[in-house]
Chains A and B, each alone.
Chain A
């Protein structure tokens, strides 16, 4: 049973446009969500996170939106840059519970110059 789902395996956007990466979860106990970026043969890099007490968190070009009723979150990258091309993982956790993160399968973003 996959608790964190990234249903689209890939996304291709033009440089300067917006990239929207989606993530759905099934466990209503999750209350903390993270996005990681990963280049091939490297470890994931933490990008941005959001607690369930918020519905939006912004950091520079990256904004994460959380819709708790829909159990859905999205990562917006504006403007997209070729260096953003990577695999993006959505992860979820329950604060006060296990420290383990539950990861989605990842989504490959390609930003074309």
Chain B
């Protein structure tokens, strides 16, 4: 149980285009999902908290107009990187919290490698 998928696993795009990444909880419902970014040899950086049916909460320094988050259902959250630039190239990881869980375990997706040319 507690499986989280991400799609795509990797994507290469041209500068200026937009890229959408999907995060799905496969066997549980998640009212809350989280989007992280990881740079090489660095820790996970929380970008935003995605709440089902409401607006995402962004961490300080993360541009909400650049990183659009939609959490339309209890099993799906999407992150859209708009007008991507090479500096947006990174490893993006989502996680989800089971809404029925007592404790705050987060289960992570496999990540999406974004390369912007």
Contacts and interface: CB of A to CB of B under 8 A. Distances in A.
A89 B113 contact: no
Given A89-B43, A89-B44, A105-B42, A43 B109 contact: yes
B32 A44 contact: no
A101 B35 CA distance: 12
A68 B27 CA distance: 34
A41 B110 CA distance: 8
A32 B106 contact: no
Nearest to A91: B106
B83 to A, nearest CB: 25
A95 B34 contact: no
Interface stretch (B11-19, B71-79, B97-105): B97-105
A44 B108 contact: yes
A41 B91 contact: yes
Given A44-B93, A46-B105, A49-B105, A100 B110 contact: no
Contacts of B25: none
Nearest to B107: A46
A93 B104 contact: yes
Contacts of A42: 110-111
Contacts of A41: 91, 111, 113
29 contacts: A32-B103, A32-B104, A34-B105, A34-B106, A41-B91, A41-B111, A41-B113, A43-B4, A43-B6, A43-B109, A43-B110, A43-B111, A44-B95, A44-B108, A45-B108, A46-B106, A46-B108, A89-B43, A89-B44, A95-B103, A99-B97, A99-B104, A100-B34, A101-B34, A101-B46, A101-B106, A103-B44, A104-B43, A105-B42
Interface of A: 32, 34, 36, 41-46, 49, 51, 89, 93, 95, 99-101, 103-106
Interface of B: 2, 4, 6, 32, 34, 42-44, 46, 49, 91, 93-95, 97, 103-111, 113
